[in-house]
Chains A and B, each alone.
Chain A
Amino acid sequence: NAGVTQTPKFRVLKTGQSMTLLCAQDMNHEYMYWYRQDPGMGLRLIHYSVGEGTTAKGEVPDGYNVSRLKKQNFLLGLESAAPSQTSVYFCASSYSTGTGDNEQFFGPGTRLTVL
């Protein structure tokens, strides 16, 4: 099992450019998440999905969009990148227990720099 994979691993964008980050999991998890990690701020939830075809906003959703067309994939889009979106992006997935006692499995991260 590959677990949670993310592509690309690194990306440099210019302000105003767009891009899509791809997350894939092979564990048949219902829940998937996108986080950004910034120094001193830990992980902040951008968007999440509780199943195929459903998405919801997290703590810092502005400037991002997501889609979950297939259960195993969760895409994060930046329509018009800004320097404030320079960060490391982590995707995660988990089982759906309904009670919150679900360990999250993380991908290796994508380091994005916006110039």
Chain B
Amino acid sequence: AQSVSQHNHHVILSEAASLELGCNYSYGGTVNLFWYVQYPGQHLQLLLKYFSGDPLVKGIKGFEAEFIKSKFSFNLRKPSVQWSDTAEYFCAVNTGGFKTIFGAGTRLFVKA
């Protein structure tokens, strides 16, 4: 069965630190990849997505993610985090059907 693994469940960083959140999926075919973010008290919203083309995709608020097909990975990065980035981040994969599989989420806390 297809699955999505997010390696870190909780991450604590200081402001200005660099961020990398890992995401790996299990599927050998074509994938559509997403990162969603859930700020405290808010609903999930799309951060960025990859469908095809340049494997380095840029999203909102300075986030980017790189699709490495050989590693089945889609890691999220940000060079310098801010307190306002405190949120839960979800990696998600769609293999072309109706269903999108979500990872368990990574809770990021940024210390001011």
Bound: A40/B104 CA distance, A: 5
One of B12-20, B63-71, B72-80, B91-99 contacting the partner: B91-99
A109 touches B43 (CB 8 A): yes
Bound: A49/B49 CA distance, A: 23
Q: Give the B interface residue count (CB, 8 A).
A: 25
User: A31, A42, A48 — which one has the most chain B CB atoms within 10 A of its CB?
Assistant: A42
Instruction: Tell me whether B56 is interfacial, beta carbon within 8 Å.
Output: no
A106 touches B45 (CB 8 A): yes
Instruction: Tell me whether B46 is interfacial, beta carbon within 8 Å.
Output: yes
Known: A42-B105, A90-B44, A100-B32. A50 touches B98 (CB 8 A): yes
Size band of the interface chain A makes with B? 20 to 34
A106 touches B9 (CB 8 A): no
B103 touches A90 (CB 8 A): no
Bound: A108/B45 CA distance, A: 10
Which one, B4, B46, B96, B102, contacts A103 given CB within 8 A?
B46
Which residues of chain B have a CB within 8 Å of any CB of chain A? Answer: 4, 6, 9, 32, 34, 36, 42-46, 49, 51, 90, 94-100, 102-105
